[in-house]
Chains A and B, each alone.
Chain A
Amino acid sequence: MKIKETVHGDIAVITLSGKMMLDAKSENLHFYVKDLIDRGYSKVVIDMGKITWFGSTGLGALLASYTSLKEVDGDLKIARATRKIRSVFMFTQLIKVLKNYDSVDAALSSFSQG
């Protein structure tokens, strides 16, 4: 999995691509988000449009990231979740927690709508 970062004002956008799985280096995404928090970002959008594999490990990384952000009064928004990812959000009943938006722009503007 590759991680790219861009910044829009006080919101960090992380673009993921490839297979979202765990390896020896472990929980890459969550480490990344914790590092963002250390650097002063508490609002994060994760663009998942280019994820080609998503399993429970990916869900664990998203939930861990969400929890870390909530602990600093921040928030996590998801953009462009694939059908497969949305179905996982559905059956885990996390669709209300991990809010998905059709585009990064929509996710970004959701922050200003509170």
Chain B
Amino acid sequence: MPENQFELDKLRSAVQELSVLNDIATAVSSARELDQVIGLIVHECVKHLEVEQGAVMLLDEKKPTDSFRTMVRKVDSADEVVPYHFGLQLSGWMLKNQVPLMINDFQSDTRFKVTTREDFPIRSLLSVPLKLKGKLLGVLNVFNKKNDLDFKLEDQRLLAIIATQSAQVIENARLYEEEQALMHFEEELRVAHDIQQNLLPKGAPDFKGFDICGRSIPAKEVGGDYFDLITISDDKMAVCLGDISGKGMPAALLMANLQATLRGQMQFTLSVSECISRSNKLLYQSTDSQKFATLFFGIINRVQMNLTYTNAGHDPPIMISSEGKIVRLETGGTVLGFMPDYEYKEENVSFQEGAVLVIYSDGVTDAQNDKDEDFGNDRLEEVIRSGRAKSAKEINAHVLNAVQSFTGDVPQIDDITLVVIKREPEDSA
């Protein structure tokens, strides 16, 4: 009879286990989102193992530098049951040992140091690894068996079986989540790309006596480069070229913001330094403090045949005379959006006949070949010098071709933007 009873108990517990697994399988089959899947698993564990709380901790692969980092995806309780440092210790232990862990008298267990600072209501715990194809995905934990009971080996066995069944489901949900995030990211890039393209000038303005050509080639769909050509009057035209920190939607929005700010400020003042100082302040106030832009901003005056400019931390543009003498336009100040009360300086340079102004983004000079060498400033100056007699459009192509043949098959890392403005020689005008 006792033997029969024993068999009967075994059978009963096997049926019970199967029913738990069936419950879980049924529940999670309707869920696709990771949090939902994990929530259901935790909920079923809490119910069937008769515990106070449960939690799934997943190893976070997005932090490549720290494989011990975990994120607690779901705790079946309003209270935070897994304090940060304990979570790290527990997942660290699991990463090393990868076997179930059962502790019935937690407070006197010496393996885990929990500071008294942390409110820690745990008496007992049972943790099992979530493993898939030998790889640890995370840890499934339950805490505090109800009615002050101890965890038993049957509990451990059941939790281990649940973990085995759950690992694949969790991984599927995680892959689904990643796929969704990627799709979302791509959609965002597409929209950002449209925004950016609409901000760029469609063609060169007609500014008598000057030949103008601007081009921007974004790396990876959308970048942070921006340029603008604005006709102020028959005699004045503004040009700007900037590089905004970040990529994607935040950069595109900041770009739109910067363009609107600059154009707005130009209604009030045509002093370039004042325009930039004010824009800097506005940009600082309207964006979070971690967004910046470098910007070159200048106004060409075709009566005085000069250029007044300010350079806010941008790669210094090149002004090359028809004889081939190069001047770098460095006057200005630091990057925009970083220090709110910065006073930018401006400089006035003459724009002589046949001279060429080349404004570029660092994507040009930082382009690398397969030996990790930069295209660099020397090559850029040399290419511009050799091509200075050509038209603006030809000079633009000449530089871009030189960069292209230098980099060869190496993919473009950063946006490449180039604005070429040439004062036409009198005889050709």
Contacts and interface: CB of A to CB of B under 8 A. Distances in A.
B87 interface: no
Contacts of B316: 91
A27 B246 contact: yes
Contacts of B290: 30, 63-64, 67-68
Nearest to B337: A63
A57 B247 CA distance: 9
A32 B65 contact: yes
Contacts of B368: 53
Interface in A41-76: 52-57, 59-61, 63-64, 67-68, 71
Contacts of A94: 313, 334-335, 338
Contacts, number: 85
Main secondary structure of the interface of A (DSSP, over half): mixed
A21 interface: yes
Task: Bin the interface of chain B by size.
Answer: 35 or more
Contacts of A35: 63
A93 B333 contact: yes
30 contacts: A3-B64, A3-B65, A19-B413, A22-B246, A22-B247, A30-B290, A32-B65, A52-B372, A53-B368, A53-B413, A55-B362, A55-B413, A56-B294, A56-B414, A59-B335, A60-B245, A60-B246, A60-B291, A60-B292, A63-B245, A63-B335, A64-B290, A67-B338, A68-B290, A84-B374, A91-B313, A91-B330, A92-B334, A93-B313, A93-B333
Contacts of A24: 182, 185
Interface of A: 2-5, 19, 21-22, 24-27, 30, 32, 35, 52-57, 59-61, 63-64, 67-68, 71, 84, 91-94, 97
Nearest to A65: B290
Given A26-B247, A93-B334, 10 more contacts: A52-B372, A53-B374, A56-B243, A57-B224, A57-B246, A57-B414, A59-B292, A60-B245, A91-B315, A94-B334
A94 B292 CA distance: 12
Contacts of A21: 413-414
A67 B290 CA distance: 7
Nearest to B182: A24
A61 B64 CA distance: 18
A49 to B, nearest CB: 15
Contacts of B289: 67, 71
Nearest to B247: A22
B191 to A, nearest CB: 16
A84 B362 CA distance: 12
